[in-house]
Amino acid sequence: MVKSMTGFGRAGKQSENFKVTVELKAVNHRYLETVFRMARVFAYLEAKLKKSIAEQVKRGRIECAVTIEGNKATKEKLVINWDLADEYIRFMRQATQRYQMEDALNIQELLLDPRFLEIVEGNEPDLELEELLIGATTAAAKRLDEMRAAEGNELALHFKYHLDTTVKLLTEIEAFVPEMEATYRARLENRLLSYVGEDFDKALVLSEIAVMLEKSDINEELERMGSHVKQFSHILMLAEPVGRKLDFLIQEMNREINTIGSKASHLEITNRVVELKTTLEKMREQIQNVE
């Protein structure tokens, strides 16, 4: 089944404590790559979210934007530098005794000084939030996959149209092969007659003509092209990512067409070869967007 590598999917989940939204944007890429845009405090969830996406998407670059709202969305915790605080308290007590000062300890100073105390975002796992995020990501990935499948159906129709054009042009080329061979044989015979006249070994000349005709024979290339077209149609029906297979096959098809173009010395065949190259290039460009 043909699927596009571009698409968009969005989904949200909500509970009493959280509201999460996940947006997935997919573009072309050689492999599967997922990048996240969300608060670093939730980075511990990336592996599980990647797994949810990978169940639906096998190839492409996925940008995952995560929005989390709620009173418990960011947990805060107190971080205290006890060692430094102990040193501070010890020094103040010693200074008070040494210089016979009134009690100089001031807890407020410790609370205001970030060297002793600071409030940071916590990163303890929250099972409720994790469940919501995975659910929203799975739903977004399914919608992304649906969009990619719909675009893939359009691509498949384009491929079938171009394959029909390819078959038509190959059939026309095949019809011109006998005429090309006859023209080539007559040209060689006339050239020999102009050089040596009627006094030549006809058996030897016919042997040489046969060798030259064999070098210009394109029937094998036409047969392989026909086989490639059937294989292309078969791959389009596979229930798996087919982009790489199609990319390899279109290269083989281009190679066969180039060989036909270099062998054939016939204007009508040359014209069809140019049309075939144009058709295959259109297919190659579209294949770059197939998963």
H, E, C per residue of 46-66: HHHHHHHHHCCCCCEEEEEEE
What's the pLDDT score for residue 96? 77
Q: For residues 246 and 238, what is the distance between their CA atoms, to the nearest angstrom?
A: 11
Per-residue pLDDT band for 111 (boundaries 50, 70, 90) equals low
Greatest mean pLDDT among 106-115, 196-205, 222-231 lies in 222-231
CA dihedral 112, 116, 120, 123 (to 10 degrees): -160
Q: For residues 181 and 223, what is the distance between their CA atoms, to the nearest angstrom?
A: 17
CB half-sphere exposure, 86, CA atoms < 13 A: 3
Residue 65 exposed, middle or buried by CB count within 10 Å (0-12, 13-18, 19+):
middle
What's the pLDDT score for residue 194? 73
Per-residue pLDDT band for 16 (boundaries 50, 70, 90) equals confident
Q: What is the pLDDT of residues 256-269, one digit of tens each?
A: 999 999 888 789 99
What's the pLDDT score for residue 88? 79
Tell me if 45 sits within 8 A of 130, measured CB to CB.
Answer: yes
Which class would CATH give 7-73+124-147?
A: alpha beta
Three-state DSSP class for residue 102: coil
CB atoms within 10 A of CB 268: 14
What's the pLDDT score for residue 82? 78
What's the pLDDT score for residue 247? 95
What's the pLDDT score for residue 144? 96
Q: Is pLDDT of 112 > 80?
A: no
Residue with tokens 């600071």: 118
Q: What is the pLDDT of residues 33-68, one digit of tens each?
A: 999 998 877 888 899 999 999 999 999 999 999 998
Q: Is pLDDT of 29 > 70?
A: yes
Where do the structural domains in the chain lie, given as residue ranges?
Answer: 7-73+124-147, 76-121, 150-287
Residue 39 exposed, middle or buried by CB count within 10 Å (0-12, 13-18, 19+):
middle
* Average of per-residue pLDDT across 92-112: 70
More confident residue, 178 or 213: 178
More confident residue, 32 or 111: 32
More confident residue, 226 or 41: 226
- Give me the chain's average pLDDT, please: 86
Q: Is pLDDT of 123 > 60?
A: no
CB atoms within 10 A of CB 223: 13
Tell me if 133 sits within 8 A of 17, measured CB to CB.
Answer: no
Percent of the chain's residues with pLDDT above 90: 56
Q: Is pLDDT of 205 > 70?
A: no
